[in-house]
Amino acid sequence: MFTDFKYTADRPAYLQLKEYLKEQILSGLIQAGERLPATRELASTIRLGRNTVIQAYQDLEEEGFIETVPGQGSFVSAVVVEAGTTTRIPWDQLTTPYAASAVQLDIEKSELKWERGMISFKSIAPDGNLFPTEDFKRAFLHRFALEGEKLLNYGYAQGYRPLLEYLANYLKQKGVDPEGKAILVTNGFTEGLNVVLAGICAPGDGIVTENPTHNTALKIFKLRNLKVYGIPMTPDGIDVDALAATLAAKPVKAGFLIPSYHNPTGLVMPPAKRQAVLEVFARHRVPIIEDGFNEELRYSGAHVAPLLALAGKGNNVVYIGSFSKILFPGLRLGWVVADRALIATLESIKRSMNIHTSFLDQALLYEYLQNGSFEKYLRRARKVYRQRHEAAIRLASALIPHRRIWGEGGLHIFVELAPQINARAVLAACYRRGVLFMPGDLFYTDGGGANTLRLGIGRVTEEEMAQGFKIIGEVVSMLEGEKSASI
């Protein structure tokens, strides 16, 4: 007995012995009331120190698996784990319609998957190699020394106070008037949007948005049973006349807009159009949810203020921010900026969802941001991504037969092919040749965009772009040839 115990070097020996003995007890191999070997004896059998055995026994007693009777030895407690009847639940029949939609709309499950060796333009995640890990470590050591215990204990739903203050100042730097506004920290943009929609849009409500728009936002609208009205994009952003017509004709509860480095088109809405859009929404008294997701990835042109800033003292813009497209997306940190009373309501919703966002992560981000590391990183990251973006535009223009290449910033470009070319057919052929991208139809509110695709460039080299775009171009050319031959 006990001769099959195997010790590996990666964890404390007494823990491994304890776990081994627990399994013996739980599986009934050692029965309740049975006496365990003396510590010296077991130590000799398994060839580990006696202290290891003593510590394992102490832990087992502490956890109620054995009892030690002084002078008599250690005995196994009556630990009941015998299973009764085995019950099977037909989960596939019991899950909710909501769950079925969540699965059906989950592109991680339905779309083609990356495999080793492929060149992928699917993601718009930032390049981890650029992350300032040393600065982050310094931020950890500094902040943790100051208030480690506090950061590891429960915090507040609204957020970590110093981060809230930093963000308020950061937004002021974008021209936002802080008066009457407040901030709520969320687990990234995605949760921010969920919190906002839970607060202001009930199932069946209408929401107006650019068409195409951010596919995750679109998924969330559908999951929440919102009626989505997509407004076409012109080359300088949303078609304002079409927007005005929809707001006049349809019952719309809110707008969702991505005015800067729009996903997927990469467009920046010019200042004059921003004013026009604000004016149309104001006229219909419809609030705007502004996605400021990668405002920081501006590569050229003058600073453009977010709608939240242009709204001045108005309370009609709800802004959702995140650094996830440049900095530490793994931490899942985002924030909602809005009217103070609305934020108080959203705070209760956030609390009901998950109490609050990790206080450790919030404090680390704060420390990193406030000591100047962020600006240093931004300069470097912008330079790299600007070059990558310029290369992407140049290479795609040269290598992929297209009707239009869209994109002024961010970590992606958007390609519109000739109308007769189906991007999913292109993807299928490219996939066989080891190249992946996002078919544009995923971003369309109305099933359109069959001839479009999004190319994420955050994590690829210029060589990979040249190689991958060439393959995409060849496939498109081939399909164009087939189409014209068949006409």
DSSP 285-324: T--EEEE-TTTT-B-SSS----HHHHTTT---EEEEEE-T
Cα distance between the two ends of the chain = 80
Provide the minimum distance between the beta carbon of 42 and its own copies in the complex, in angstroms, as a whole number.
Answer: 19
Contact stretch for its own copies (CB under 8 A) within 227-235, 363-371, 400-408, 443-451: 363-371
- By CB under 8 A, the residues from 140 to 169 that bind its own copies are 140-141, 144, 148-155, 157, 169
- By CB under 8 A, the residues from 395 to 454 that bind its own copies are none
Provide the minimum distance between the beta carbon of 426 and its own copies in the complex, in angstroms, as a whole number.
Answer: 26
If one asks whether residue 380 binds its own copies (CB under 8 A), the answer comes out as no
Handedness of CA 384, 386, 387, 392 (dihedral sign): positive
Query: Residue 232 is inside which H or E element, if any?
Result: strand 227-234
Tell the residue number behind the tokens 């012995």, with chain if given.
17
If one asks whether residue 45 binds its own copies (CB under 8 A), the answer comes out as no
Beta bridge partners of 455: 413
Query: Amino acid identity, residue 218?
Result: L
- By CB under 8 A, the residues from 283 to 312 that bind its own copies are 285, 287, 298, 300-305, 309-312
- By CB under 8 A, the residues from 211 to 270 that bind its own copies are 219-220, 223, 253
Rounded to whole angstroms, how far apart are CA atoms 322 and 296? 10
Query: Amino acid identity, residue 476?
Result: V
Of the pair 70, 84, the CB lying nearest its own copies is at 84
- By CB under 8 A, the residues from 167 to 186 that bind its own copies are 169, 172-175, 177, 186
**At 228, is the secondary structure helix, strand, or coil?**
strand
Of the pair 44, 387, the CB lying nearest its own copies is at 387
CA distances from 384 to 297, 299, 376, 410 (A): 11, 10, 13, 12
- By CB under 8 A, the residues from 21 to 40 that bind its own copies are 22-23, 26
- By CB under 8 A, the residues from 58 to 87 that bind its own copies are 59, 62-65, 77-87
If one asks whether residue 352 binds its own copies (CB under 8 A), the answer comes out as yes
Q: Which of 34, 44, 98, 446 binds its own copies (CB under 8 A)?
A: 98
Provide the minimum distance between the beta carbon of 128 and its own copies in the complex, in angstroms, as a whole number.
Answer: 4
Q: Give the residue from 390, 447, 53 showing the smallest Cα distance to 61.
A: 53
Provide the minimum distance between the beta carbon of 40 and its own copies in the complex, in angstroms, as a whole number.
Answer: 23
If one asks whether residue 390 binds its own copies (CB under 8 A), the answer comes out as no
